[in-house]
Chain A
Amino acid sequence: MADALLTFDNVDVTFPRRGPPVEALKGVSFEIKHGGSLGIIGDSGAGKSTICRVAEGLVRPSAGRIVIDGVDMTQASEREWQKARRHISLVFQDAQGSFNPMRPVVDSIGMPLMSYTDAGKAELRRKVGEVMEQVGLSATQMTRYPHEFSGGQVQRLAIARALITRPRLVLFDEPVSALDVSIRAQILNLLTDLAKSLSLTYVVISSDPSVARHLSQDMIVLFAGKVIERAPTQQLFANPQHGYTLSLLSLRDPQLAARAELARLEDAALADLGKGVPS
């Protein structure tokens, strides 16, 4: 436990609503070691984004413990979270939406510097320029507005903002799902390069197993708020244990899909899910 950077210990999250509350996460446990990388795959509504929001302190768990770098954050106040957020960056699923359309991008990328450092205006612009060059953009573009950038460029901007404080942990929520197929590889390569050159510790959340496979050493599979499978990435792909995992993996893998026995397994998995949540 000592070398874990982020630990989720039996975390439950419920959202109140009319009628029975929504259980977004149920007993979710995992940990990420310093320098490690974790892929979280699962369907929409499985709770992937909720994990991000809990790790950022935007959503509080209703049960369980969250430990960041040895500090128990379960009962932390908003002020303590505000400090902790310096070290945990989140790259939002909706990159375009995570930039204020009324402000030039330099303002949005520089936000973390404004709160966590006493950098002056010139220093801020210099650092924003640096980090923009680092993600493959030109520093001269910093005075433009978000809508003036293409989808791939906005994703780069979002990555730049996440990296500007040199965080200990970066959470990538669906980093390429909104992008065109021919742009995805550009962003995935950028992430691979940055992970190496900055020795990042990170979490990749994706509904496309191949994205998580490409970027992470370990993997968990989430279904209806529960972790149903956890394994080192290569092992998970070589030998998925759960029928649901197999279904997920077969969707875009023609070799897996072509296997005749797989169709039967798929049926079994789907029938399973029809009956209820697998445990």
Chain B
Amino acid sequence: MTTMLPAVATEGMRSEERIPLSAFQQGRAAFLADRMAVAGLAILVLAVLASIFAPWLTSYDPNIGDTDAYLVPPFSPGHIFGTDNQGRDILARILYGGQLVFPEAVIPVVVASILGMALGLIGGFFRGVFGEIVMRTLDVLFAIPMVLLAIAIAATLGSGPPTVIVSMAVVITPYVARVVATTTAQLRNAPFVDAARCAGFSRWKILRREILPHVIPAVVVYGTTNMGAMIVFAAGFGFLGLGAQPPTADWGAMIAGGMKSLASAPWISTVPGIVIVIVAVAFNYVGDGLRVALDPRLRTRR
């Protein structure tokens, strides 16, 4: 891979010095060296593409069943994952369901990461009144159980995917903010922060230049490793009936729908369950790979 790098001529560079890789190149190399992370990323990309191109991949309608094919078991011709008790093809429902589940999981995490990062940086770095207000507000939010809070928000907004997105974002934000605030508070007295003060940097500049590079990887890793949990969480909304309304395909709703016939037709619940686990694990491995790729101490060796 190194042979493909452009030969950057640096002033006074000696021939025995290695050509310095940019941070991005180093990170990419470290990520690609992690096989599990690459495999996870490949699974996610395939899963997302499959959801987007669902109409081209399956000819079945996810919401309208075939009355002649109730409860077809998996690996049957025409229905590789089988059909449910209304004769709907489970593969089709999973593919179309992805169109809902991925945005439901990803958008709240992205929104919460940005909001939580801003709040956490302020709360962790500034000890004044403002920082106190931020931190105590977060504490109050922590006191309310996550699911209860989400349900309360969903109850006020009515059910449906937008509700899931909003309530999940609100629920996750304090967690992100706490991760960020802890990291920031640990770093605010670090010798390199003192060194930046000695070098004449203002506090905002220290926050942006010295502390933010530590916080971003923490948030990215927190987000991706929890994305799996978020999919399960979003599925939980569907399970509780607060997400998409029947008959719209939603992985969580699919599990809920299959519960009644778990003994006679276990595949109705277990197939979406397995899919959720695979996607969640893939996100975890990607998060792990990013952790290494984003930290110069882990991605380079002396």
Residues of A within 8 A of B (CB): 56, 58, 82-83, 85-86, 89-90, 92, 94, 97-104, 107-108, 111-112, 114-116, 126, 129, 138-141, 143-145, 147-150, 161
| Closest CB pairs A-B (n = 7) | A115-B200, A111-B199, A97-B191, A102-B213, A143-B20, A98-B191, A145-B296
Chain A residues within an 8 Å CB radius of B197: 58, 85
**Contact across chains for A161 and B199 when beta carbons are under 8 A apart:** yes
B300 and A97 form a contact (CB under 8 A): no
Distance of A92 Cα from B190 Cα, bound (Å): 11
Name the one of A83, A114, A115, A161 contacting B195, with C-beta atoms under 8 angstroms: A161
B213-A86 in contact (CB<8A): no
Q: How would residues 199 to 214 of chain B score, 1 for a CB under 8 Å from any chain A CB and 0 otherwise?
A: 1111000000110011
B214 and chain A: residue at smallest CB distance: A102
CB distance from B8 to the nearest CB of A (A): 10
Contact of A97 with B192 in the complex, beta carbons under 8 Å: yes
Extra inter-chain contacts (6) besides given A111-B195, A111-B201, CB under 8 Å: A85-B199, A98-B192, A100-B196, A103-B210, A112-B200, A126-B11
Chain A-chain B contacts (Cβ-Cβ < 8 Å), number: 91
- A86 near B191 with CB under 8 A, answer no
A94 vs B210: C-alpha distance when bound (angstroms)? 17
Are A101's CB and B202's CB within 8 A? no
- CB-contacts of B1-43 with A (<8 A): 10-14, 17, 20, 23
Q: Are B194 and A140 in contact (CB under 8 A)?
A: no
CA–CA, A100 and B195, complex, Å: 9
Q: Which residue of B lies closest to A100 (CB)?
A: B192
What is the chain A residue whose CB lies nearest that of B215?
A: A102
Cβ A140 vs Cβ B214 within 8 A: no
Q: Which residues of A contact B13 (CB under 8 A)?
A: 140
B198 touches A138 (CB 8 A): no
Size bin of chain B's contact surface: 20 to 34
A126 CA / B11 CA spacing, docked (Å) = 9
B205 CB to closest chain A CB (Å) equals 8
Q: How far is the CA of A153 from the CA of B95 in the complex (A)?
A: 56
25 A/B residue pairs, CB under 8 Å, sorted by A: A58-B197, A82-B202, A85-B197, A85-B198, A85-B199, A86-B200, A89-B198, A90-B198, A92-B195, A98-B192, A100-B192, A100-B210, A102-B217, A102-B295, A102-B296, A107-B209, A108-B192, A108-B195, A114-B199, A115-B199, A116-B200, A129-B12, A139-B12, A140-B14, A147-B300
Residues on the B chain within 8 Å of A116, using CB: 200
Given A111-B201, A112-B200, A115-B201: A138 and B17 interface contact (C-beta under 8 Å): yes
Minimum CB–CB distance from B3 to chain A (whole Å) comes to 19
Which residues does chain B contribute within 8 Å of A108, judged by CB atoms? 192, 195
Q: Write the chain B residue with the least CB distance to A142.
A: B20
Q: Is B127 an interface residue (CB 8 A)?
A: no
- Cα distance A108–B210 when bound, in Å? 9
Q: How far is the CB of A126 from chain B (nearest CB, A)?
A: 8
Q: A140 touching B17 by the CB < 8 A rule?
A: yes
Assess the A129–B192 pair: CB atoms within 8 A.
no
Bound Cα distance from A183 to B198, whole angstroms:
27
Among B143-173, those with CB < 8 Å from A are none
Query: Bound state CA distance, A16 and B47, in angstroms?
Result: 57
Cα separation A94 to B302 with both chains bound (whole Å): 20
Closest to A107 in B: B209
CB within 8 Å for A111 and B196 given contacts A102-B296, A144-B20, A145-B297: yes
